[in-house]
Amino acid sequence: MRTRIAEQLQEHGTVIKRLESECSDSIARIAGRLVETLKIGNKLLIMGNGGSAADAQHFAAEIVGRFAMERPGLPAMALSTDSSALTAIGNDYGFDRVFSRQVEALAAPGDALVGISTSGNSPNVLKALETGRQAGCSTIGLLGRDGGTIAPLCDLALIVPSDITPRIQEGHITVIHILCDLIEQSLFGSLAGDR
């Protein structure tokens, strides 16, 4: 077991180092777009499936609540949290529409849609980003592998440099925490109680 533990931690460390060397500019651009979105009073709509749904909820919770400092709440929501909407839309329109239908109902021009997909090929995330783009939203992807079919639909995409799903997910949550920090520092860095 110790060998397996060491292998897992080494893989994780390699991905995190590559994120720093290969993706820092992308992270900064995404943070800048999210800051601008929130600064003008728009909101973040975040989506994903499975573990990526959990990441979407985590991201939204850190933005609405707080990450590391006391500050006013900010508008963000995960589109995977309303079980009645998900099951009704899935039943009536198909699972591929569970996010796009919510984007139709909730998105406003200037909002930012964040799609999280380890494969880069989740059909429901893809359709939601297409719908959001037509509605005048920014489209952002947190992806893995080669970015899949979603990457070309994104105004900004971060592709975690790995083909291994758990390592991609670990990269995503690390990036989400960095984005939360950069948003708080950019919007409220002068507030007392920082860290």
Q: Which residues are annotated as a binding site for substrate?
A: 49-51, 62, 91-92, 117-119, 122, 169
Angle 19-133-136 (CA atoms, 0-180°, nearest 5)? 115
Which residues contribute to the annotated binding site for Zn(2+)?
A: 58, 62, 169, 177
Rounded distance between C-alpha atoms, residue 134 and residue 192, angstroms: 40
Q: What is the four-CA torsion angle of 73, 70, 156, 87, rounded to 10 degrees?
A: -40
**Residues ≥6 apart with Cβ < 8 Å to 104:** 131, 135
Burial 61-82 (b: 16+ CB within 10 A, else e): bbbeebbeeebeebebbbbbee
Which residues contribute to the annotated binding site?
A: 49-51, 58, 62, 91-92, 117-119, 122, 169, 177
The CA distances from residue 184 to 34, 113, 152, 175, in Å, are 11, 19, 29, 14
Kindly give the residue spans of alpha helices, DSSP state H, lying in 40-64: 51-64
